[in-house]
Structure 1
Amino acid sequence: MRITIGLGVSLALGLVFSMPAAAQEAPVAGKVAEGSLKGKTLTFVSYGGVYQDGQLKALEDFVTASGVNLLSDGPTEQAKIQAQVEAGNVMWDVVDTGDLMPFVHCGKLFQKLDFSKIDISKIPPGQVGECSVPAMNYAVVLMYKKSTYGDNPPTSWADFFDTKKFPGTRAIPGYGDAEGYMIELALLNDGVEKDKLFPADIDRALNKYRGMRDDLILWQTGSQSQQMMESGETDMAIVWSGRGKAAVANGAEYEPVWKDWVVVKDQLTIPLGTKNLDGAYALINAYLGQKAQEIMTETTSYSPINIDAKPKVDELTTKWLTSTPEKLAQAYNYNISYWVDHNTELNEKWASFIAGN
């Protein structure tokens, strides 16, 4: 996908135009020097669909104010980033990635960030990495088709793994970048106690999935997972919350299970060797602004990462936000640091599994 955003009229909910860069002593989230990137081109990369559409919407006033020509590409793939970096021909300037990638490859595939060029003061504590800032917060959540289960729906991950009590197809992530929470969920529902989860037995977890392979459908992109729900192709699905909400909004007869929903956040990164480093910093700083985050949430249902953001959303979107006290009380935080340290083993074994082995 490659989209050019035109330099249209600034939206009322846009960025606050700042003074020229020379007069600006420190970055302020959401502000950009007017005309500062005129004649420049940046490429923003993400995972497509409703999420990337919302991100682009949030950046429209950055485009108008800065004068930049913004291209949109995707989906994010580590192999493509690595190929660009190793070839010394980096075409992507800001890339939205999953949780682990920038931690595993910080300083190798991704630029170590200069925080004198990004205002991170409005980001919740503990969410900023050496090579990344959060793009948003969201959930990985279990969805089920209401017509399949009627008055006896699944209410937990245990039910997802119980194919006898809850027969039916299950759609799960099947893309190449392995997710540690998939291993943790399988182990916790294969008799492993939470306090004995680590060191994690990856083979045991994958064998749990292999034992139900006849019931599994793998999705490779967020848009594919959404389409599976909208078409009624699967009885249960492990999906990103934004995709679940979008499917329901489009008429899909599915319901989420919020017990032990998995806390996840996408990351904003700069590939090492970008030719537009200052522009990349400016884009990220604009994206972190209050109003940009409100727009992002209003168009995607993903939770904002600016603590001042107060998105105006409808009842359905409110249901899908993960930032409420009620949702946070049911959240499951997976062990990111462990999976950073064991990323190579996890990716190798996951690749074998999704290949059918």
Structure 2
Amino acid sequence: MKTPLRLISVLTVGTLLLTACGVGGESGGDSSDQKLTWASTGGQFQEDEKTALQKPFTAKTGTAFTNVSPAEQAQVRTMVKARKTIWDLANMSWIYAGAYCGELFEKLDDPALDRSKFPAGTTGDCFVPTYRYANIFSYNADFYPGAKPTTIKDFFDVKKFPGKRVVYDYPKAGLFEAALVADGVAPDQVYPLDLDRAFAKIDTIKSSLVFAPSYGAIQQMMVDKQASMVLTVTARTIVSAQSGANLVPVWDFNTTDIGVQVIPKGSPHKKLAQQMLAFITEPEQAKAYAKLTGTAPARPDVDLDSIGYTDEQKKFNAFLPDRGKTVEQDKQWWIENTDALVKRWTSWKVG
């Protein structure tokens, strides 16, 4: 049974359909056309995608890209139901692709997308990773001139290390796994998540938590010193540090996750879209993208030393040696449990 995953506001079908049909041109087309419509998050993130991924593919194949944003699950559902899919690739959570594989998203069947090339637990029938990142625990050193946080337990110790803690307002941002490990669970025993135990641990710091509505808000809060600690993704940690936050990572325990590009059901150019997916996971493109963003290539056979990370990027890279324990977020567990956990999370925050 598929998880409903109603994680977004319900908008009118008419409005979404008008939006979907108003971006990117034809709603159908010959699969041999050398063009792809690419939906993503906008901003610098999408600019990096254009530079490191799209331009080299255009140079190699002549493919023209139409870029749109934001990439929202609601628009995919609307386009698919109306049988007017115009997006070929969309940067959105693999949770959607896992929950609605074959229904709202295309199954990947190109032999070039060899799943053995990727780390165990990072692929599904409708997705393969295009990059990897971590949910990193960092602290602002300006707040702690004396004793320094050194373990994930310190994130939950407001007596020894007072101050606000910023987390992204979404359960899959690494907080639940961190709470369990801080409470004594061995990292390799974190899944399936013991939610009662995790919520009990998070309760101990609830009054010190700040729930950020976006990654941009997290960055601004850390730069403005509205909090002393943060648990957030690799790229945003790097940008926050580059913007002036005096952040120090704690390499004790962190969760790792993947970014994906998925193909909405009925894509006009499914074959070409899969060729693009295979292309962007190849070493040259993977390294170019990692260098721009500070994330890690999806494939472990790409040597991280060959990427040319800046010192700032190396500082917050959880995939380099000697970075403590890391746990890949369990894809199937999150696909099956996200909807119920989001409801519980929402109720807990106001309780």
TM-score range, shorter chain: 0.7 to 0.9
In 1, Cα distance between the equivalents of 2:192 and 2:140? 35
**Aligned partner letter, 2:205:** M
Q: Which runs of 5 or more structure 2 residues have no equivalent in the other structure?
A: 1-22, 24-31
Q: Aligned residue for 2:320?
A: 324
Q: Choose from 108, 112, 115 the match for 2:110.
A: 115
Seen in structure 2, the aligned counterparts of structure 1 residues 74 and 206 have a Cα distance that, compared at 3 Å, is: farther
Cα distance in structure 2, aligned partners of 1:193 and 1:350: 23
Matches within 5 A, 1:1-357: 37-38=33-34, 40-45=35-40, 47-59=41-53, 60-116=55-111, 118=113, 122-124=117-119, 126-175=121-170, 178-179=171-172, 181-190=174-183, 200-306=193-299, 307-308=301-302, 310-327=306-323, 329-353=324-348, 356-357=350-351
CA 1:153–1:49 in 2, change beyond 3 Å: closer, same or farther?
farther
Structure 1 residues without counterparts, runs of 5 or longer: 5-35
Aligned length: 318
Q: Which has the higher helix share?
A: 2
CA distance in 2, matches of 1:146, 1:193: 28
* 3-state DSSP of counterpart to 2:91: strand
| Letter paired with 2:233 | W
- In structure 2, C-alpha distance between the alignment counterparts of 1:239 and 1:201, rounded to whole Å: 21
Identity rate of aligned residues, in percent? 27
- Higher mean C-alpha deviation, range 189-198 or range 101-110: 189-198
| 1:42–1:279 CA contact under 8 A, matched in 2 | no
Which TM-score applies when normalising by structure 2? 0.78
**Residue 204 (structure 1) shift:** 4.6
Q: Which AA in structure 1 matches 2:103?
A: K
**TM-score, normalization by structure 1:** 0.77
TM-fit CA distance, 1:245:
1.4
1:334 Cα offset (Å): 3.9
Q: Deviations over 1:152-209 (max 9, x none)?
A: 222222111122222111111114xx41843232234346666875654434533544
Q: Residue 56 of structure 1 aligns to which amino acid in structure 2?
A: K
Amino acid at match of 2:212: W
Structure 1 residue 283: Cα displacement? 2.2
| Gap change, CA 1:165 and 1:48, over 3 Å in 2 | farther
Give the match's secondary structure for 1:179. Answer: helix
Superimposed CA distance per residue, residues 75-106 of structure 1 (whole angstroms, 9 cap, x where no aligned partner)? 44434433433343334321223353332332
Asked if the contact 1:106–1:130 (Cα under 8 Å) also holds between the matched residues in 2, the reply is yes
Alpha-carbon contact 2:93-2:259 (below 8 Å) kept? yes
Which stretch of the first structure deviates more once superposed, 212-221 or 116-125? 116-125
RMSD, aligned CA: 3.0
* 3-state SS, counterpart of residue 79 of structure 2: helix
- Check conservation: 2:39, 2:70, Cα contact below 8 A: no
